[in-house]
Amino acid sequence: MPKIYNIYGTDSHAMTLSLLEKIEAANLVPSGANIILKPNLVVAGSPENGATTHAGVLSGCIEYFRENGINDITIAEGSWVGAATLPAMKRAGYDEVCRRYNVKFIDMKHEKTRKVDSPIGPLEVCSLALDAKFLVNLPVLKGHCQTKMTCALKNLKGCLPDREKSRFHALGLTRPIAALGSVIKPGLIIVDSICGDLDFEEGGNPVHTNRMFCGTDPVMIDSYGASLMGLDLFSVPYIGLAEKFGAGTTRFNPEDIINLNEPENAGKYPRPSGRVANLAKNIHEDSACSACYAALIRALHTERKGRGQEIYIGQGWRGKNIPDGALGIGRCCSSAKRNVKGCPPSAKSIAEMF
């Protein structure tokens, strides 16, 4: 059974290195294989805005694989329809990474494509992605206005020419995203969940989870990502459909999730702003870890019932009285009569307690 490895923190470069070293990722790469790093550069935006993969994820991958004798590494991505990829690449700081490590960046919008069979008929996909001997998918876990969330499976849409991206939308996204998952098989997925947006893939309202996680099964990764965002699989139907199309499994057990460190290592949640601050109006927070607070924000976003409730969260409430009727989040607030267990609990488990 594949596993998922979690790490908390704020330094995407160091976190990436730790994840890769822990899973001994070099052993996954076939001998002599080239590596394509596929980040999310949907629009030209700073990763801190919640849309794009942090440059440190790329530099961490490059350093790790080079240190392990794997030198043929390329970064490749194509922004969404209507946005040019190269400005997005510069805005996210990838030009500096490419310069420093002498790594090529390829705009997949302008690459050769070919049609491949899929469970819903032929899909036109960039040949570079199809021919990569080892593709490392580097999505951002974030909200999406149509599909509710985007993570590993949907990030592969950047491997399509613009005309095919538009056709995916005309087909309603669910079936083609699931089918694409059966056509492009990444060797590894590292999810940047440091500050994915609340509900738009183009960013604007980042939620600071300060977490990254990795695994080899994109369907399992997306199922886990959905639970972190408080979503059940029925509300993100492309995940279950991808399983039916043979792209992976939706099933995972608590013992399949391995934490490399504790949520406290990610530090306290930064002062929320915008829509996130609005959702936080009734929260009594005292030294809450980012992952815990982010789970609560995600739960309040997906389940309106929670918004009028008095909610306590944070290490500062350990062992203190929490008023009757209030909801306590996580192990630190276990003195509350109504307590969501976990450290940190998932957004899904919080939403179920509202």
Binding stretches for ligand SF4 (CB under 6 A)? 263-264, 288-289, 291-292, 314-315, 330-332, 343-344
Residue from 214, 342, 210, 314 nearest 266 by CA? 210
Between residues 248 and 328, which has the closer beta carbon with respect to ligand SF4?
328
Rounded Cα distance, 182 and 141, in Å: 20
Shortest Cβ 341–ligand SF4 spacing (Å)? 9
Q: Which backbone phi and psi does 317 adopt, to 5 degrees?
A: -95, 0
Between residues 187 and 306, which has the closer beta carbon with respect to ligand SF4?
306
Q: Are 282 and 307 in contact (CB under 8 A)?
A: yes
Give residue for tokens 């490399």.
260
H or E element: which one contains 107?
strand 104-107
Tokens of 53: 């993969």
Between residues 112 and 341, which has the closer beta carbon with respect to ligand SF4?
341
Shortest Cβ 336–ligand SF4 spacing (Å)? 12
Rounded Cα distance, 279 and 133, in Å: 44
H or E element: which one contains 99?
helix 94-101
Between residues 103 and 289, which has the closer beta carbon with respect to ligand SF4?
289
Q: What is the C-alpha R_g of the chain? A: 20
Shortest Cβ 36–ligand SF4 spacing (Å)? 35
Shortest Cβ 50–ligand SF4 spacing (Å)? 21
Angle between helices 237-244 and 174-183 (to 10 degrees): 40
Handedness of CA 274, 278, 284, 289 (dihedral sign): negative
Between residues 63 and 264, which has the closer beta carbon with respect to ligand SF4?
264
Peptide bond into 344 cis (omega under 30): yes
Shortest Cβ 333–ligand SF4 spacing (Å)? 7
Contacts of 67 (CB under 8 A, 6+ apart): none
Q: How long a stretch of residues is the chain?
A: 354
Residue type, 209: T
Contacts of 137 (CB under 8 A, 6+ apart): 38, 152, 155, 156, 186, 188, 189, 190, 218
Shortest Cβ 344–ligand SF4 spacing (Å)? 4
Shortest Cβ 264–ligand SF4 spacing (Å)? 5
Between residues 242 and 332, which has the closer beta carbon with respect to ligand SF4?
332
Rounded Cα distance, 210 and 11, in Å: 9
Between residues 219 and 340, which has the closer beta carbon with respect to ligand SF4?
340
Shortest Cβ 287–ligand SF4 spacing (Å)? 7
Shortest Cβ 194–ligand SF4 spacing (Å)? 16
Between residues 70 and 291, which has the closer beta carbon with respect to ligand SF4?
291
Name the residue number minimizing CB distance to ligand SF4. Answer: 330
Surface-to-core class of residue 331, CB atoms within 10 Å of its CB (0-12 exposed, 13-18 middle, 19+ buried): middle
Between residues 116 and 257, which has the closer beta carbon with respect to ligand SF4?
257
